[in-house]
Amino acid sequence: NAGVTQTPKFRVLKTGQSMTLLCAQDMNHEYMYWYRQDPGMGLRLIHYSVGEGTTAKGEVPDGYNVSRLKKQNFLLGLESAAPSQTSVYFCASNPGLAGGPTDTQYFGPGTRLTVL
């Protein structure tokens, strides 16, 4: 049981390049999330999904797109990277409606992205 995994762990991009971050979970969770963490600003929600085939915007969605084609995977895409997207990206999952108020979110190890 690997929990939540993220690929890649590190990446350096040039402004204007594109990339996709992959999140995978093996806990059969319904809900999945992408957060970014910046110094002094805590973690902020980018996009989330409440089930296969669904996505929704979070607090800071501009410049990002997501897809949830399979229940276990949640992809975060940057179409044209900007230096402001330099950050650490965390994926998380939660059982969803099948769970309840005792269910914590499980976080991946993070992807450190630098955009030059």
Residue numbers at the binding site for another protein (CB under 8 A):
31, 33, 35, 40-45, 48, 50, 56, 58, 90, 92, 94, 96, 101-110
- Closest contact distance (angstroms) between CB of 47 and another protein is 10
Q: Residue type at 60?
A: V
Asked if 49 and 56 count as a contact pair (C-beta separation under 8 A), the reply is yes
SS3 category, 94: strand
Q: Residue type at 111?
A: T
- Closest contact distance (angstroms) between CB of 101 and another protein is 4
**H or E segment at 45?**
strand 42-49
Question: In this complex, which beta carbon is closest to another protein, that of residue 17 or of residue 44?
Answer: 44
SS3 category, 87: strand
- Closest contact distance (angstroms) between CB of 102 and another protein is 6
Question: In this complex, which beta carbon is closest to another protein, that of residue 63 or of residue 110?
Answer: 110
Tokens of 91: 């994926």
Pairing mode, strands 111-115 and 10-13 = parallel
Question: In this complex, which beta carbon is closest to another protein, that of residue 22 or of residue 43?
Answer: 43
- Closest contact distance (angstroms) between CB of 66 and another protein is 14
Question: In this complex, which beta carbon is closest to another protein, that of residue 81 or of residue 92?
Answer: 92
